[in-house]
């Protein structure tokens, strides 16, 4: 099994990409290889809802699936520095096709400064790792967990994200 970390449209800091690669490798024991791919140019403007000024996450997932065409032995985690939403949700930190081949995380709302707070690199990186592992968990077939400390617990707010761990609980680990 292989995981591809796929920056979309904008350059993503190499420190973040390396952190994700190392964190994902450590948490997913069933993965042989984690690759950081070069930036994928996507005309994201086609996926922006002009009324909301947000990207339609599901459209990006479909585009990633069509452009990369991952095999059954691959999962793709797109990293996007664009605010996004899905369905009737006001926003999403990330989204994945349950048991599918593609997932995405969106960086803007993971930054403290999005909420007019002081920049905190450690908090930002911690949130990125949690959301990446969470969305990849969905891609591997895991559903939301009732354990509030498990990385698979649903994050309705950043408080939920900050509270949970970067790792799967024993129950989710066994399902994985």
Q: Tell me if 108 is assigned to some domain.
A: yes
Query: What is the rounded (10 degree) CA torsion for 55, 59, 64, 66?
Result: -150
- Residue 28 domain-assigned (yes or no): yes
**Tally of structural domains, the chain:** 1
23 in any annotated domain: yes
pLDDT score, position 33: 92
| Residue 158 is assigned to a structural domain of this protein | no
The residues carrying an active-site annotation are 135
Determine, yes or no, domain membership for 127: yes
Paired sense of beta strands 2-7 and 48-49, if any: unpaired
Place of tokens 């996507």: 42
Average pLDDT, the chain: 94
* CATH, residue 138: 3.40.390.10
Helix axis angle, 121-139 to 14-27, nearest 10°: 50
> 128 in a domain, yes or no?
yes
> What's the pLDDT tens digit per position in 105-133?
999 999 999 999 999 999 999 999 999 99
Q: Do 125 and 119 contact (CB within 8 A), yes or no?
A: no
Residue 134's closest CA among 63, 28, 31, 29? 28
> Rounded to whole angstroms, how far apart are CA atoms 74 and 145?
24
The range of the structural domain enclosing residue 138 comes to 2-144
pLDDT, tens digit (0-9, with 9 covering 90-100), for 74-110 = 999 999 999 999 999 999 999 998 889 999 999 999 9
């Amino acid at each position: 099994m292989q995981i591809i970390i796929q920056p979309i449209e904008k350059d993503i800091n190499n420190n973040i990409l390396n952190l994700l690669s190392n964190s994902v490798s450590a948490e997913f024991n069933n993965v042989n290889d984690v690759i950081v791919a070069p930036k994928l140019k996507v005309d994201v403007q086609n996926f922006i809802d002009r009324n909301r000024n947000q990207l339609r996450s599901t459209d990006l997932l479909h585009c990633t699936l069509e452009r990369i065409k991952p095999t059954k032995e691959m999962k793709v985690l797109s990293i996007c520095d664009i605010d996004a939403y899905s369905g009737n949700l006001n926003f999403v930190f990330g989204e994945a096709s349950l048991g599918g081949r593609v997932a995405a995380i969106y960086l803007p709302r993971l930054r403290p400064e999005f909420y007019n707070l002081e920049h905190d690199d450690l908090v930002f990186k911690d949130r990125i790792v949690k959301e990446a592992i969470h969305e990849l968990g969905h891609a591997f077939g895991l559903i939301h967990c009732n354990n509030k400390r498990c990385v698979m617990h649903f994050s309705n707010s950043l408080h939920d994200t900050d509270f949970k761990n970067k790792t799967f609980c024993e129950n989710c680990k066994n399902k994985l």
